[in-house]
Amino acid sequence: MNTEIRNNWTLDEIREIYFSPVLELMNRASNVHAKYNTTGEVQVCTLLSVKTGGCSEDCSYCPQAARYNTGVEAHKLMTYESVINNALDAKNGGSTRFCMGAAWRNVRDNSDFDNVIDMVKGVNAIGLEVCCTLGMLTEQQAQRLKEAGLYAYNHNLDTSDEHYGEIISTRTYKDRLETLDNVEKAGLSVCCGGIIGLGETDDDRIKLLHTLATREQHPESVPVNALVSVKGTPLEGREKVQVWDMVRMIATARVLMPKAMVRLSAGRNEMNYEQQALCFLAGANSIFTGEKLLTTPNPGFDADKEMFALLGLKPRESFKAEKEKEVALT
């Protein structure tokens, strides 16, 4: 089996992988995972919404868009102290990556951004890998985040270019791709994935994976989210994503992007341990833990500790990729 790292996948090749019988697909993904990564090792990340609600965008899945009545109130940016306290709790709970999210369309060069820069410095000083997801960015803003010690930037493409307009009208796919380029130019790791359950076809999922897997550099991490269908959003009442769809998406991502951290992201609250185990077998090696994602419920540290013990999973240490690079150079 050919398991070299490739950036020239064709849509047909991806279709063949995606549509293969699910157990064969899982087996293939497991083999790729074992070749490139430490199986059974899972990165534990914590999310914190540092600026919640009141967003001007119209992302139809999002409880934080100001135009939908979802019950999520708009808040100001959190204080430095409370962010640092949350980061310390996350570290004590076993997290190694801390991701700060803001309900912004894009970053502006104002005092809020100055404060986020300080938060990045503070969380970095605690020894956590720091990630931010703040909306669209210029190259200069990405550079400032990098200088402050940011490790990764999350910016999802969500779905295919073709389906994007059905989900969001206030920005384009091209806008998202530009931010990803700016993030890369600043030397930050890219965290980029999508959501399933948005009414997309299998081909939309395949096209999203194609866009990610044919980037010159595969994203360092690829979050696979199942839609959390929130009351008041246009996607309220959507059918729950089937676990086999998650498995297919995760396994295909693993085969295409062998070294990426494939993150079993939103949707875990509706999954039992057995279903999550299938996702780990399919090559997922990262989760968000803590009782909340940004605004919706998520399994807490204790439930995840129990699952780790039950499945024999081990949390991945922080900055592991960097440490391995250093060892290789000495």
Site residues for ligand SAM per CB under 6 A:
61-62, 64, 101, 103-104, 133, 135, 155-156, 158, 195, 225, 227-228, 230, 266, 294
CA distance 223 to 57: 21
Active site residue 316: no
Is-catalytic flag, 192? Answer: no
Distance CA 139, CA 178 (A): 9
Site for ligand SF4 contains 62 (CB under 6 A): yes
> Where in 254-293 is the site for ligand DTB (CB under 6 A)?
265-266, 293
Interface with ligand SF4, residue 135, by CB under 6 A:
yes
Which structure tokens are listed for 134? 């703040």
- Contact characters 85-124, ligand SF4, x per CB under 6 A: ------------------x-x-------------------
Residue 134: name the closest of 209, 52, 198 by CA: 52
Q: Is 99 assigned a catalytic role?
A: yes
Q: How far apart, in whole angstroms, are the C-alpha atoms of residue 36 and residue 221? A: 14
Known catalytic residue at 191? yes
Smaller CB separation from ligand SAM, 135 or 219: 135
CB of 68 to ligand SF4, least distance (A): 9
CA–CA distance, 230 with 115 (Å, rounded to integer):
30
182 phi, psi to nearest 5 deg = -60, -40
276 in Cβ contact with 224 (< 8 Å): no
State how far the Cα of 258 lies from the Cα of 218, in Å rounded to an integer: 9
Contact footprint for ligand DTB (CB under 6 A): 47, 63, 99, 101, 133, 154, 156, 193, 223, 225, 228, 265-266, 293-296
Positions marked active-site: 55, 59, 62, 99, 131, 191, 263
